[in-house]
Amino acid sequence: MINIVIADDHPIVLAGLGQLIRGQAGMQVVATCVNGTEALQAVRARRPDVLLLDINMPKLDGFGVLRTLANERADVRTIVLTAELDSAAVGAARLAGARGVVLKELSPQHVLDCIRSVHAGTEWIEFLGRANPAPKKPAQQHHDNTELTPRERELATLVASGLRNREIAMRLGISEGTAKLHLYNVYKKLGVSSRVELAIRMQGAQPATT
């Protein structure tokens, strides 16, 4: 049985993850928490196998929880839940002791697969649907920017210019969730895993000026 503590300050996310996990054989939720302080207390009291941890929480954020657990040498494998992938944040979470990083908007099956893998001792880092950093692609493999739809190309250009998802959503007149979905498709089509890689790819796609 995999004993799990869930920590997230969004009630809908907390309830949804709890319902998802409780419906799985071999898993059980032993505590739910709405801030980092509660998460630490739950880990100390319940000694779970896995902690699902949101980064942005009141009282004590996810990085504070990770650092405290590392200092206490807590025997728990922590999976960070994030609404937006950022290479720097992913790297910081791994350095702080996270064994998994999962994008909240991916399918519930990804979360369940991640829990099982991390519990079994495997590191799981989601790069928009790819678990763990994938090996570099062969040089002959090429992802053409023409694979993008006009809206995806427009969004990719805005990302390359340095705008964040909320700003892009406002600029395009769409919801932030829709912007993230478009960005997911852009990453997948172009074979990139960060905003920096996307910016470089888009810069290389610009026609040369004379």
**Domains of the chain: which residue ranges?**
2-131, 145-205
| Average pLDDT of the residues in 76-87 | 80
**What pLDDT was estimated at residue 108?**
77
Q: What is the pLDDT of residues 15-40, one digit of tens each?
A: 888 988 988 899 999 999 999 999 99
| Average pLDDT of the residues in 97-126 | 84
Considering only residues 13 and 45, tell me which one the structure prediction assigns the higher pLDDT.
Answer: 45
**What pLDDT was estimated at residue 27?**
95
Q: Is the pLDDT of residue 190 over 50?
A: yes
Q: Is the pLDDT of residue 62 over 80?
A: yes
Q: Where are the beta strands (DSSP E) in 25-141?
A: 27-33, 50-54, 77-82, 100-103, 124-127, 130-131
pTM, whole model, 2 decimals? Answer: 0.61
| Assigned CATH class of 145-205 | mainly alpha
Considering only residues 166 and 192, tell me which one the structure prediction assigns the higher pLDDT.
Answer: 166
| Average pLDDT of the residues in 73-81 | 93
Q: What is the mean pLDDT of the chain?
A: 80
Separation between Cα atoms, residue 93 and residue 74, nearest integer Å:
16
Q: Which fold has domain 2-131?
A: Rossmann fold (3.40.50)
